[in-house]
Amino acid sequence: MHCIQNTNMARVAVENLTKIFKGAKGESIPAVSNLNLVVEDKEFLVLVGPSGCGKTTTLRLIAGLEEVTSGTISIDGRVINSVLPKDRDIAMVFQNHALYPHMTTYENMTFGLEVRKLPKQEIDQRVRDAAEMLGLIECLDRKPEALSGGQRQRVALGRAIVRKPKVFLFDEPLSNLDAPMRLQMRKDLRKLHAQLGCTMIYVTHDQTEAMSLGDRIAVMNSGTLQQVAAPNQVYHHPANMFVAKFIGSPPMNFFEGTIEQSNGGISFTASQAFTVGLEKSIAARLTEYSGKKIILGLRPEHIMDSAHSPSSPAEWNVEATVEFIEPIGAETHLHLSSGEHSFIARVQATDTYTQQQKLSLVFDMRQPHFFDPKTEQAIA
Ligand SMILES: Nc1ncnc2c1ncn2[C@@H]1O[C@H](COP(=O)(O)OP(=O)(O)OP(=O)(O)O)[C@@H](O)[C@H]1O
Ligand SMILES: [Mg+2]
């Protein structure tokens, strides 16, 4: 077994965490607002959200690089607000991983440890274990200039690993890498997490990365937590319209309309466009919205060319116009319109379409999402 493996417990709890920066003119810049989040011991939690939503600030608060405005941060029940960053036992890997250019890989990795006065043999063992894990054995004597971007990124990881921290914090560590390297590093990170058995908090603005890496995903927007759940839960049961739109590509389609009673059944009518029937069990959840405005959300994969769904109920048919055709290889994204509504369907790449073509679609109404137009929250 690797001596680098982590035996520490580390459950990170953030309670009512708020950070307000002061701007140049003394104005308040709220970066994180009342954040409540528990990262379980050995969990890989991904913090995801658009630029400026407070991800880096959250990590820096946990690492102790920013002072909290209010709220508490604790590890295993011990509040660490006033513990110095160096005593928090947390390692942070940044996007621009700033290796020392005049030091070899080996020296870059040992640097932090020598400062801590660990025995030489222990240091050597930790570095060799980490280098082996990260495929860096051959690079130990090279300086950063003689390493590829991916190798440099791994050295930065190695530097964090050899510290054997209780908690790893990653701030978009892969964003400087090209797509194939990112994919490889994602796999390596998951493996590393399994090998090290430690708590990791990983920040990204890339929802695909979040989905593929996280045990759970915490979605943030404008400094506030929107939802925290397993990737599939977030995708299939988004808590609100922001999450529904942010997670998934192309994003979920939204249609504003009303719920109405029609010939014995209940249906959704998109304003001045189309009507689709609702399943009884789904309609039962929406009774209080009867006659009121509501938003239907439907993922692009749940809108099909009717040619491929001949047996679906006629009340799920929608006529639309093809506005734009986006072939992406494995599938095609059809940009469509119906009345004032624009939406996207994922269709088979083998089918051919022409712009302005009228197309008969099937909305898979076993998979709808409904949202309250005022609160934008999902209707359970
Ligand atoms: N030192 C600072 N002083 C003032 N405002 C700041 C400071 N650091 C961050 N902010 C503001 O706080 C908000 C959150 O910033 P933060 O860096 O946490 O976002 P982020 O989610 O990491 O974004 P990105 O994906 O672009 O890295 C932003 O509005 C930002 O402008
Ligand atoms: Mg950031």
Can you tell me the distance from the alpha carbon of 56 to that of 229, in angstroms, rounded to the nearest whole number?
Answer: 20
**Percent share of the chain, pLDDT over 70:** 98
**Predicted confidence band of residue 378 (pLDDT cuts 50, 70, 90):** very high
What's the whole-number mean pLDDT along residues 191-198? Answer: 88
CATH of domain 253-371: 2.40.50.140
Indicate which ligand has the atom closest to the C-alpha of 57. Answer: 1
Confidence (pLDDT) at 3: 52
Confidence (pLDDT) at 4: 60
Confidence (pLDDT) at 1: 42
Q: Which residues pair with 29 in a beta bridge?
A: 21
Instruction: Name which residue sits closest to atom 14 of ligand 1, judged by CA.
Output: 54
Residue 109 has pLDDT above 60, yes or no: yes
Burial of 30 (0-12, 13-18, 19+ CB in 10 A): middle
Q: Report which of 291, 255, 285, 200 is spatially closest to residue 8, judged by C-alpha positions.
A: 200
Confidence (pLDDT) at 33: 98
Domain boundaries, the chain: 12-246, 253-371
Q: Are 378 and 371 in contact (CB under 8 A)?
A: yes
- For the entire predicted model, the pTM comes to 0.92
What's the whole-number mean pLDDT along residues 317-325? Answer: 97
Residue 263 has pLDDT above 80, yes or no: no
Q: Which residue among 20, 57, 94 is best mutated to probe the pocket of ligand 1, counting the most ligand atoms within 8 A of its Cβ?
A: 57
For the segment(s) 12-246, the CATH number from 3.30.565.10, 3.40.50.300, 3.90.180.10, 3.40.30.10 is 3.40.50.300
Q: Report which of 66, 68, 65, 60 is spatially closest to residue 19, judged by C-alpha positions.
A: 68
What's the whole-number mean pLDDT along residues 68-94? Answer: 94
Kindly list the strands in the beta sheet with 70-75, ordered across the sheet, starting from the edge strand earlier in the chain.
28-39, 12-22, 70-75, 78-79
In which residue are the tokens 């209080």 written?
A: 288
Ligand 2 centroid to 55 CA: how many Å?
A: 6
**Predicted confidence band of residue 6 (pLDDT cuts 50, 70, 90):** low
- Count of Cβ atoms closer than 10 Å to residue 152 Cβ: 20
Angle at 194 between CA 190 and CA 196, to 5 degrees: 110
One-letter amino acid at 230 equals: A
Ligand 1 contact via 56 beta carbon (within 6 Å): yes
Ligand 1 contact via 100 beta carbon (within 6 Å): no
Kindly list the strands in the beta sheet with 265-270, ordered across the sheet, starting from the edge strand earlier in the chain.
275-277, 265-270, 253-262, 293-298, 369-371
**Predicted confidence band of residue 294 (pLDDT cuts 50, 70, 90):** very high
Ligand 2 centroid to 326 CA: how many Å?
A: 31
What is the SS3 string spanning 122-191? HHHHHHHHHHHHCCCHHHCCCCHHHCCHHHHHHHHHHHHHCCCCCEEEEECCCCCCCHHHHHHHHHHHHH
Can you tell me the distance from the alpha carbon of 56 to that of 95, in angstroms, rounded to the nearest whole number?
Answer: 10
